[in-house]
A and B are shown apart, each in its own frame.
Chain A
Amino acid sequence: QKEVEQNSGPLSVPEGAIASLNCTYSDRGSQSFFWYRQYSGKSPELIMSIYSNGDKEDGRFTAQLNKASQYVSLLIRDSQPSDSATYLCAVPRGGSNYKLTFGKGTLLTVNP
């Protein structure tokens, strides 16, 4: 199993819909989880972090974590065309507190 796995997409949703992005990880010891957004030709930018099981909300974004299932997701409510980007899941690597392992990302397209 790869350390961090994401569906590469593309995921296409209509404007105003909920976009659901998923990520699984292999290291049961991982304690923190991050979602980065990367626009085409740009660098990744941190949009959400989550450390505890359950949901964490920030505006239109909600991160969900289930450590038992080794699963983290990102929900984007009221999706906008400006949300069209690649979303990268990142997890500290194997006991390290500094090495982030990134998934390959899911390309999201929000259609007007």
Chain B
Amino acid sequence: LAKTTQPISMDSYEGQEVNITCSHNNIATNDYITWYQQFPSQGPRFIIQGYKTKVTNEVASLFIPADRKSSTLSLPRVSLSDTAVYYCLVGYNQAGTALIFGKGTTLSVSS
């Protein structure tokens, strides 16, 4: 299971672009990189997933360099409602049956 490292917290202002970087030096060949968002007292919500290069959806973009040892979640023009914990997950547990969460990055957006 690839260990991930991401900042504990980040601060931003409304309208700014936020980039959260996650390092995963021992990512395995078949591992995908998945990002979840969690608001207080709610379940984690899937944001985006990728394997290599760039993935974009209506919510975010995910940039993955060629060596795949890190990834960057990009949130364009954040608003107050983007204040949440963001988790970077890489691979699964040994049995391949479950995602394992780390501590995540707490993003605080101010006006």
Q: Do A and B bind each other?
A: no
Q: Chain A: residues with CB nearer than 8 A to chain B?
A: none
